[in-house]
Every structure is written in C-alpha cells, then in structure tokens.
C-alpha cells in the first residue's frame, strides 16, 4: 500500500476534533458574553425610560392639581362667593406642593378671571410659605394682617 502525503494546508485527522471542540467552546463563551452585554444594556436603557416616565407622571399629576385649584377658584370668583387669597385657599391651594406650582396656579387664575389673586403680596415672596402660614375658614383669612406684614409689598 502506498501512503500518500497530505496536501499542503490540509488538516490532519487527529487535529480536526480538537479544533472543532475549541471552536464550539469559543462560540459558546462568545454567546454568553453577548447575552450578558445585551441584558445589561437593556436594563440600563429600561431604567432611563422608567426615570423619564416617572418624571412625566409627576409633571402630569402636578398639572392636574393646579388645574383643579384654578377651576375651583374660577367658579368661586365668577359666582361672587369669594376672591383673592381667600378664594385660592378655599379652592385648595394648600394642596399644591411647591412655590412653582402655586405660581403657575396664580398665572392661570389671573388668565381665567382677569384678576391676580395675590396682587397685594410681593412678587419675590415664597408662595408656599405664604399659603402655609394662612389660617382661614369659610368666610375669611383669620390672620390676614400678619400675612400682609410678613409677605406684603413694601
């Protein structure tokens, strides 16, 4: 029998199973690494979208709170039941969470009714402190003089 010499570049029969085994392991490890990278990229992407959704929901809730107060205030003013600071207090301005929300409610109320409900108070006053300091009932603001001294225009 004549033995032939393998052609150049040909893989020997002994090396073929070993190379195949190494390639399979490398592909499996590569697949695992790819899966992990994809997972962590998705988690990071999901957290960013979740944060954006929470911010949008908070802004939406604040807008609803402001609108409820402004609508109640507008009804009170249009029916001549009350106005100004007392009207805002009865409408629920104390439920607003920040000075910015109160400032937006003030602007919207002015746009709807034509009168600034907080016209006698300083523009730079912290509106949340002003509202929280108010003591009122169905008829009037009980400590209006103290509030004017503390937050009024000078």
Partnered with residue 141 across adjacent β-strands are 136
Sign for the CA dihedral angle at 42, 43, 48, 49 comes to positive
Q: Is residue 78 part of a domain?
A: yes
Q: Is residue 111 part of a domain?
A: yes
Closest CA to 103 of 78, 81, 124: 124
Do the domain assignments include residue 4?
no
d(CA 62, CA 55): 11
- pLDDT tens per residue across span 85-134: 999 999 999 999 999 999 999 999 999 999 899 888 877 788 999 999 99
Q: Average model confidence (pLDDT) for the chain?
A: 86
pLDDT digits (tens, 9 = 90+) for 61-79: 999 999 999 999 999 999 9
Identify the domain containing residue 130 by its residue range: 17-151
Per the confidence metrics, is the pTM higher than 0.85?
no
Q: Structurally, how many domains does the chain consist of?
A: 1
Per-residue model confidence (pLDDT) at position 140: 87
């Amino acid at each position: 029998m004549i033995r032939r010499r393998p052609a150049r570049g040909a893989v020997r029969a002994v090396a073929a199973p070993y190379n195949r085994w190494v390639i399979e392991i490398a592909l499996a490890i590569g697949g695992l690494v790819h899966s992990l990278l994809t997972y962590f990229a998705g988690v990071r992407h999901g957290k960013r979208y979740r944060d954006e959704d929470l911010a949008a929901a908070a802004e939406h809730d604040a807008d609803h709170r402001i609108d409820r107060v402004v609508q109640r205030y507008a009804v009170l003013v249009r029916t001549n039941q009350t106005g100004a600071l007392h009207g805002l207090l009865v409408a629920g301005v104390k439920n607003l969470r920040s000075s910015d929300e109160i400032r937006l409610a003030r602007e919207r109320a002015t746009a709807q009714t034509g009168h600034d409900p907080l016209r006698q108070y300083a523009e730079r006053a912290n509106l949340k402190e002003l509202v929280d300091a108010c003591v009122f009932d169905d008829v009037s603001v009980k400590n209006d003089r103290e509030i004017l001294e503390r937050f009024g225009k000078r």
